[in-house]
């Protein structure tokens, strides 16, 4: 479990441990990561996945595992032309590349043991865009494509792949990106709802779960009738 020290990651670690899983919590904050691990009876590992070689080191420390939850992420909000240049590779490294590298590290072992599940935590922004979130949306769209491609590649095999697509979630994410969530709609959901979606995706071997489910309508409208979707997106952002 990456990004496990708070928010969706912490809630998911608790949900999985409550379901009987032995949890490894990876995060960048020593105290918060240790606190979540203590609450779940799991292990705490510190890892900054933006650093070169961090994914390989983390995978080696964890050892064999049956489930990988790629949850670590960071945001930035504002006009793209005003985004500091150095933040672009930072977002790509943590929101997309880290998931790819960690998945690459664990897949051979899963295949050898004949079981495994990779869960990637995406965002509605990856399917519907989002004003002021161009790079974040691009990373989450890439994560969605990555997940689906791997699902097809391993169809019928012992390894499952799931994409969790949350809308806004009531976590420190918005505070850390530097801009609070100020939209009246949709309202942020509790991270526990996303954690349940992760748990259910693993147990039920579901390829995709949208949280809350009604946001899937926006995804379907964008795909089926973009000429209807875009005026609404332009108006409501």
CATH of the domain at 54: 3.40.50.720
pLDDT of residue 9: 97
pLDDT of residue 218: 72
Q: Report pLDDT digits (tens) over 15-51.
A: 999 999 999 999 999 999 999 999 999 999 999 999 9
- Indicate the pLDDT class of residue 173, thresholds 50, 70 and 90: confident
> Any idea which residues carry the catalytic annotation?
136
Query: Is 16 part of any domain?
Result: yes
Query: Is 217 part of any domain?
Result: yes
Q: Report pLDDT digits (tens) over 111-163.
A: 999 999 999 999 999 998 888 999 999 999 999 999 999 999 999 999 999 99
Looking at per-residue confidence, does 214 or 219 come out higher? 214
pLDDT of residue 237: 58
113: region left, alpha or beta (phi > 0 left; psi from -120 to 50 alpha): alpha
Query: Is 181 part of any domain?
Result: yes
Query: Is 150 part of any domain?
Result: yes
Q: Is the pLDDT of residue 226 over 60?
A: yes
pLDDT average, residue stretch 195-206 = 98
Host domain of residue 41 = 7-236
CA 232 to chain centre: 26
Q: Report pLDDT digits (tens) over 57-73.
A: 999 999 999 999 999 99
pLDDT average, residue stretch 83-98 = 97
pLDDT average, residue stretch 103-114 = 98
Q: Is the pLDDT of residue 225 over 90?
A: no
DSSP-assigned states of every residue in 27-72? ES-HHHHHHHHHHHT-EEEE--TTSTTHHHHHHHHH-S-SEEEE--
Query: Is 1 part of any domain?
Result: no
pTM over 0.85: yes
CB atoms within 10 A of CB 187: 11
Backbone angles phi, psi at 196, to 5 degrees: -65, -40
Tokens of 182: 């100020």
pLDDT of residue 101: 98
| Residue % of the chain over a pLDDT of 70 | 92
DSSP SS3 for 20? coil
Query: Is 118 part of any domain?
Result: yes
pLDDT average, residue stretch 67-90 = 96
Domain count along the chain: 1
Query: Is 73 part of any domain?
Result: yes
Query: Is 2 part of any domain?
Result: no
Backbone angles phi, psi at 67, to 5 degrees: -135, 130
Give the mean pLDDT of the chain: 92
């Amino acid at each position: 479990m990456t990004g496990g020290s708070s928010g969706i990651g912490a809630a998911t670690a608790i949900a999985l441990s409550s379901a009987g899983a032995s949890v490894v919590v990876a995060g960048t904050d020593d105290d918060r990561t240790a606190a979540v691990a203590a609450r779940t009876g799991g292990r705490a590992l510190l890892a900054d996945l933006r650093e070169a070689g961090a994914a390989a080191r983390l995978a080696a420390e964890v050892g064999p595992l049956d489930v990988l939850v790629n949850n670590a992420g960071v945001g930035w909000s504002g006009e793209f032309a005003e985004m500091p240049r150095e933040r672009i590779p930072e977002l790509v490294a943590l929101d997309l590349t880290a998931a790819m590298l960690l998945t690459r590290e664990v897949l051979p072992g899963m295949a050898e043991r004949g079981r495994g599940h990779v869960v990637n935590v995406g965002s509605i922004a990856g399917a519907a865009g989002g004003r002021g979130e161009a790079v974040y949306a691009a990373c989450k769209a890439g994560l969605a494509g990555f997940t689906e491609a791997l699902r097809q590649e391993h169809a019928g095999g012992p390894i499952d792949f799931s994409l969790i697509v949350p809308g806004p979630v009531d976590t420190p994410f918005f505070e850390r990106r530097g801009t609070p969530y100020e939209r009246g709609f949709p309202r942020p959901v509790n991270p526990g709802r996303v954690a349940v979606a992760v748990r259910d995706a693993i147990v039920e071997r579901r390829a995709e779960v949208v949280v809350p489910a009604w946001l899937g309508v926006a995804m379907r409208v964008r795909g089926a009738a973009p000429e209807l979707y875009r005026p609404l997106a332009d108006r409501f952002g």
